[in-house]
Structure 1
Amino acid sequence: MSKKFLQRLLALHYVYPKPLNKLNLLLEKDLQLERLHEQSAQQLSQKLLISAASAQQLKTAYADSLKIPFEAVYEKHKIIPISYLHPLYPKSLLELFDPPAILYAKGKTNLLDNPDRLAIIGSRKATSYSRNAMELIVPPVVENNFVIISGLAKGADAMAHETAITFGGSTIAVTGSGFLHPYPKENLNLHNIIEENHLIITEYPPYMPPKKWNFPMRNRIISGLSRGIVVTEAQTKSGTWSTVDHAIEHGKDIFAVPGNIFSPLSEGPHKLISEGAKPVWNGWQVLEEYRQLVSKN
């Protein structure tokens, strides 16, 4: 990727932070975005299926954005933009219908080189049962060089990151906001630890605040990065299910932790198990699943 194209892509994504399938409407006949500034508002409106007024605003904002030295600004703030053409960009994300056009990263980007990545997710209201389960699941997995992925939300996500760190593993947090708006505030210290010693990624430019629709979008990245997903505690109607749905759609392995039959937070894992998810209560079971897959191949 040329520096000029990267600058144009970063400028466009800054003012139009959409997935690659949306940006492809502009890229398909202008691969280097060399003629984007020449497009009329009407042309942009037709290509992007937006109003003429929105297209004019985009055109103006893009022209202003081109003047910002993004690479230098991001480097100053230790943000590494990883475009869909970057060598570190995980190829598994390109299998999504709507891959992120750019991943903004802070931390150890070499963790993206490790294909053995396991997501651990669950309820924001997860109890100590989730933490206890993770303390049996995570140690063997990280000892065998798997990276633990989650979404840095309250509850099970935070527990997954913390458990990976406690047992000497590596973790990747996928967030639903830009780096200027770490979310939630309760996890700010954890956010800083992961940023410094592990890896945080987001598809949103730094100024983007957390919006409720960002998090279902974030979940497809968690699924896309992972070989498999472990669900600890979750109700049958929760944000956890959007990640599970993405994982099922893309043929990822689904693991579920059996729980107390009297707990509403066990309903989700038990439903998954009834539908074919593998029940797990220690990390060796997860590893054995992958050993079997390797031997079959």
Structure 2
Amino acid sequence: MNKIKSRLIHLYRCRYIGRSTLKKLFLIDPTLQSIYDWDTLAWRSHLNFSLKQSIAIQEDLKSPLLIEEVQRDQKNYNVITILDNNYPATLYNIPDPPLVLYLKGNPQLLTHNSLSIIGTRFPSKFALPIMRKLIPPLVENNLTIVSGMARGVDGLAHEITMKTGGNTIAIIASGINYVYPPEHKELCTQLEMDHLVISEYSPNTPPRRFQFPERNRLISGLSFGTLIIEAKERSGSLITVEQALDQGREVFAVPGALHMETSKGCNRMIQEGATLVQNSLDILLEWESRKYSWEQFLIESDTERKRKVKDLFDKMQESI
């Protein structure tokens, strides 16, 4: 199984191979071994790649530098794949689950019950006191706080949680060696030392525009619910909310003044059915009512993942 894991990580690093392509490759060959012998014609016939794409993939598969990088990353970082027993059960059943995760910090935090907190990069003066009021009781009730280490609300969520003595997870939109935004370098170091930083991108990947909404599905997926502190009517936070709803997660929102741009997104979410949050108890009561069913869901999700991995291993044995 370790060889399949290494092939999965390697293939995921190749140009033009994403999650959907890898899923197709698993169906063609559960061991991923024969794919290394494909010529350009095979890539074109099996997956309808262009000649240019097929040549690029072949170059990457045979590149000594890339192979060395993949081996080095597996030694230097905690790399979890969907084949591993410690793959987070919370992410397995979301639409388009990550196949590979790179971690720095304490991986045990992935087993904790958590709440995601998101919001604008440019919070008003009201956001900080609101967060200082809401977060400590959540931490006291053993909820790990998940966010994206972005400017504004995300960074504040991590900082307040750490100052309160709680645990926090940052899911970032770049590789874990690329700190973004740059001013969060010290925050990132603290998170890596005592908490957890996660990325589905290879370690030296810079942040790209499309990676932010792609990352957001993991922020919402890792937790039982997502709390929005402040958000404009059109913002990345609302993309995360849509993903949370698609994933069957709870959505909480803090209401704000009608004249404030950063309140319009939250107010609209409440109007459309998000739980209005006036204090931490509004979240904790919802958590208590859902805790048993959530934990059962995680057990079932992990059992299903392990069954599918076993089926994959059985198919691999049959092909030998």
Compute the TM-score of the two structures, normalised by the length of structure 2: 0.86
What residue number does 2:60 align with?
Answer: 61
Choose the corresponding residue for 1:192, options 167, 189, 194. Answer: 189
The answer as to whether partners of 2:254 and 2:266 remain within 8 angstroms in 1 is yes
Which residues of 2 match residues 154-165 of structure 1 at below 5 A? 154-165=151-162
What residue number does 1:91 align with?
Answer: 89
Taking the aligned partners of 1:152 and 1:34, their CA distance within structure 2 comes to 37
The answer as to whether partners of 1:84 and 1:100 remain within 8 angstroms in 2 is yes
Shift of 1:131: 1.7
Taking the aligned partners of 1:122 and 1:11, their CA distance within structure 2 comes to 35
Note the alpha carbon deviations across 1:31-89, whole angstroms, 9 max, x for none: 1111111112222234444322111111111122574273544433xx21000111221
Choose the corresponding residue for 1:214, options 208, 211, 221. Answer: 211
Task: For 1:26, give the aligned amino acid.
Answer: L
What residue number does 1:81 align with?
Answer: 79
Q: Is 1:32 paired with 2:35?
A: no
The answer as to whether partners of 1:18 and 1:101 remain within 8 angstroms in 2 is no
Shift of 1:18: 5.4
Higher mean alpha-carbon deviation, 183-192 vs 283-292, is at: 283-292
The answer as to whether partners of 1:177 and 1:183 remain within 8 angstroms in 2 is yes
Which runs of structure 1 show a deviation greater than 4 angstroms over 4 or more consecutive aligned residues?
16-19, 294-297
The answer as to whether partners of 1:234 and 1:266 remain within 8 angstroms in 2 is yes
The answer as to whether partners of 1:7 and 1:69 remain within 8 angstroms in 2 is no
Taking the aligned partners of 1:11 and 1:294, their CA distance within structure 2 comes to 38
Taking the aligned partners of 2:276 and 2:152, their CA distance within structure 1 comes to 21
| SS, match of residue 234 in structure 1 | coil
Higher mean alpha-carbon deviation, 118-127 vs 94-103, is at: 94-103
- Cα 1:100/1:18, change in 2 over 3 Å: farther
The answer as to whether partners of 1:19 and 1:99 remain within 8 angstroms in 2 is no
Identity %: 34
Choose the corresponding residue for 2:99, options 76, 82, 101. Answer: 101
| SS, match of residue 128 in structure 1 | coil
The answer as to whether partners of 1:177 and 1:202 remain within 8 angstroms in 2 is yes
Unpaired segments of 5 or more residues in structure 2?
295-320
Higher mean alpha-carbon deviation, 208-217 vs 47-56, is at: 47-56
Note the alpha carbon deviations across 1:130-172, whole angstroms, 9 max, x for none: 2211111111111111110001110111011111111110000
State the number of aligned residues: 293
What residue number does 1:70 align with?
Answer: 70
Shift of 1:296: 8.5
Task: For 2:98, give the aligned amino acid.
Answer: P
Q: Which has the higher helix share?
A: 2
Q: Is 1:292 paired with 2:296?
A: no
Choose the corresponding residue for 1:279, options 270, 276, 282. Answer: 276
| SS, match of residue 118 in structure 1 | strand
Q: Is 1:4 paired with 2:3?
A: yes
The answer as to whether partners of 1:138 and 1:164 remain within 8 angstroms in 2 is yes
Note the alpha carbon deviations across 1:195-232, whole angstroms, 9 max, x for none: 11100000000121110111010001111111000001
Taking the aligned partners of 1:246 and 1:296, their CA distance within structure 2 comes to 20
Note the alpha carbon deviations across 1:104-139, whole angstroms, 9 max, x for none: 00000000111x110000011112322211111111
| SS, match of residue 80 in structure 2 | strand
Cα RMSD for the two superposed structures: 1.9
- Cα 1:49/1:296, change in 2 over 3 Å: closer
Shift of 1:294: 4.5
The answer as to whether partners of 1:120 and 1:229 remain within 8 angstroms in 2 is yes
What residue number does 2:40 align with?
Answer: 41
The answer as to whether partners of 1:17 and 1:204 remain within 8 angstroms in 2 is no
Compute the TM-score of the two structures, normalised by the length of structure 1: 0.93
Higher mean alpha-carbon deviation, 251-260 vs 14-23, is at: 14-23
